[in-house]
Amino acid sequence: MGNGLYFQTDFGSGLDNVPRAQLKKGTWADASLQMALFARHMSQMADVLNNRTDAAHWQREYARLKAATNRVNWNVDDGFYYDVQPNGEPTRVKYLGAYWSLLSEVADQQQAAALVAHLKDPKHFYRPHLFPSLAASHPDYDPMGNYWVGGVWASTNYMVVKGLERRGYRNFAREAAENHIDNMVKVLNAKIDEARINPPERDGDYQSIWECYSPEHPLPGTGADKNIFSRHHFVGWSGAGPIAMLFENVLGFDVSGVDHTVTWHVSRTDRHGVRNMPMGAKDSFDLIASARDAASGRIVISGRASRPFTLKLMVDGWKPKTLRIPARQFEMQVRR
């Protein structure tokens, strides 16, 4: 289309059967937003390497892509990034690809707020299992998933959760992560109809992590044939829920092995924490927070560290605190 943005193919995009209307070689919002994120990361890596020429080049490319995507793909009336057809018309298909704009920071705060409103709207993405790949308002939306015509996927959910976190919606990110994991547990314990398993994959063991999930029911998502369930025993990217989202968003840990710093967002009031959490290639730590009353003015933190590190403690309702953790067993009381 001559606007300097990007297009893809259905399989190349990874969203095999999202209904993209007559898109073809139009301007794909997800592809263009991903390339903006790529340029931003290249600039940041060049900064770390002290390569000012490359850093400036990639920062210019990021700025160009940000401006172009906001000009071409952003629809101010709907508050959404749409794919744009070759004739310049938006497809008006709401799917999760638009949310790369949060992680890449292409969306400004006002645009981010509009996008988050769609996530919180049951007409679109706030379904029993957050978040369907295609908005429930679309006429092709399939409550059983049908792969990307409504299915809930770890890859897109993790992207949305990290985007929410980056843009200041940490509590909503935690809610979405908890919802996703809770629904995975329900499916883990659900009775699965073997007649809906692809015959070559029938093995009688369906207490499993699945390739994708239904947005409406505690069941696996169906594949592109609309009836057969997606693949079971599919840790692949589906492991992002009970691993990355659990540690990072539900328990609230952000670990930097480079500067030996742990940021802990403590939102829970029950006893919780981690043991043997890696920090860099060789070191690890334990951190446990005691159970506490929500109105309590103190918290007891205990644990162990193989080397000293800095703990940035972010307790809901408290001012941030920075603590120095010793290389040994420890226990400390921290007050509001």
pLDDT tens profile 46-58: 999 999 999 999 9
The residue range of the domain holding 8 is 1-119
C-alpha distances out from residue 196 to 4, 186, 232, Å: 45, 18, 12
Same domain, 51 and 80: yes
- Tell how far CA 205 is from the center of its chain: 29
Provide the domain count of the chain: 3
pLDDT in tens, 244-285: 999 999 999 999 998 999 999 999 999 999 999 999 889 999
> Where does a domain end: 212, 233, 250?
250
Total count of residues recorded for the chain: 336
- Determine the pLDDT at residue 22: 76
Q: Which two tokens stand for residue 328?
A: 């040994």
Question: How does residue 292 score in pLDDT terms, banded at 50, 70 and 90?
Answer: confident
* Residue in 83, 79, 135, 82 with CA at minimum distance from that of residue 110: 79
The CA dihedral of 162, 164, 168, 170, to the nearest 10 degrees, is: -80
- The Cα 193–Cα 227 span in angstroms is 11
End-to-end CA distance of the chain: 56
Same domain, 108 and 57: yes
Return the ∠ at Cα 178 (arms to 242 and 223), rounded to 5°.
65
Question: Is the preceding omega at residue 234 within 30 degrees of 0, hence cis?
Answer: no
> Where does a domain end: 250, 276, 303?
250
- Determine the pLDDT at residue 317: 85
Same domain, 285 and 300: yes
Same domain, 173 and 199: yes
Same domain, 231 and 327: no
Q: What is the pTM of this model?
A: 0.94
- Is 294's pLDDT higher than 80? no
Average pLDDT over residues 55-72: 98
Mean of the per-residue pLDDT values of the chain:
95
Same domain, 38 and 92: yes
Examine residue 160 and state whether it is found in any structural domain, yes or no: no
- Determine the pLDDT at residue 1: 58
- Is 214's pLDDT higher than 90? yes
Q: What is the DSSP letter of 27?
A: B
- Determine the pLDDT at residue 115: 98
Same domain, 69 and 146: no
Lowest mean pLDDT among 2-6, 61-65, 292-296: 292-296
